[in-house]
Amino acid sequence: MESGRKLWQRYWGEGIPCSDFVARAGPYRKELEEVMAEAKPSQEFISRLRQSPVSRIGVVTEPWCEDSRAFVPPVAKAAEQAGVALLIFNRDSFPELRDAHLTYGKAKIPVMVFMDDDFNELYRFVERPRQVLRWMGEYFRTKKYADFTEEDKERFLADYRRMLPQFQRYLEEEIMAGLAGLSTLPPSEP
């Protein structure tokens, strides 16, 4: 298999900007537009991105993914404000990129790969921040999502969306720590 660096070099010109991803999101467009409008990346995050060697972010995702709808828009907004290129690659349209970034042998999304000018990977964010995993672990401590009633699912999604501003702060913190070299562990399983 080709290295991630070579794959990113080969496919970079085929990615789409976040605005196109949102426009093509079908039934998820409205929610993506709302999250994009409400996303307020911190000045600290924007400054750290601007001052880092990151010049591009490749995102492997799909619009149906709740975590993607929650976490891609604020990173896209911060990248734009920091002058960092961000392109999106639909997971199912780019199987080589998907397979090059498996986590525990699984294709989790979103995958955000922070790279320098030469496509060297500097940091990789996968799926959701660890703090969100902890929150979900507490939420599912007594009942698995597969056992949820429709009412339980609606309540969970409402709580998740209510927590989104805090979750986005966790996202920023995790990415900043990763870019500072403080985060070397792969994401933990929920």
Q: DSSP letter string over 89-116?
A: EETTT-HHHHHHT-BTTB--S-EEEEE-
Q: pTM, whole model, 2 decimals?
A: 0.90
Dihedrals phi, psi of 186, to nearest 5 degrees: -70, 160
Containing 61, the helix (H) or strand (E) segment is strand 56-61
- pLDDT tens track, the chain, 190 positions: 567 889 999 999 999 999 999 999 999 999 999 999 999 999 999 999 999 999 999 999 999 999 999 999 999 999 999 999 999 999 999 999 999 998 888 999 999 999 999 999 999 999 999 999 999 988 888 888 889 999 999 999 999 999 999 999 999 999 999 998 744 444 544 4
All domains of the chain in start order, with CATH: 4-179 (3.40.30.10)
* Cα 26 from Cα 139, distance rounded (Å): 30
Residues with Cβ < 8 Å from 125, sequence gap 6 or more? 71, 75, 110, 111, 112, 114, 171, 174, 175, 178
Q: How high is the pLDDT of residue 2?
A: 67
Could you give the CA distance from residue 110 to residue 58 in angstroms, rounded to a whole number? 10
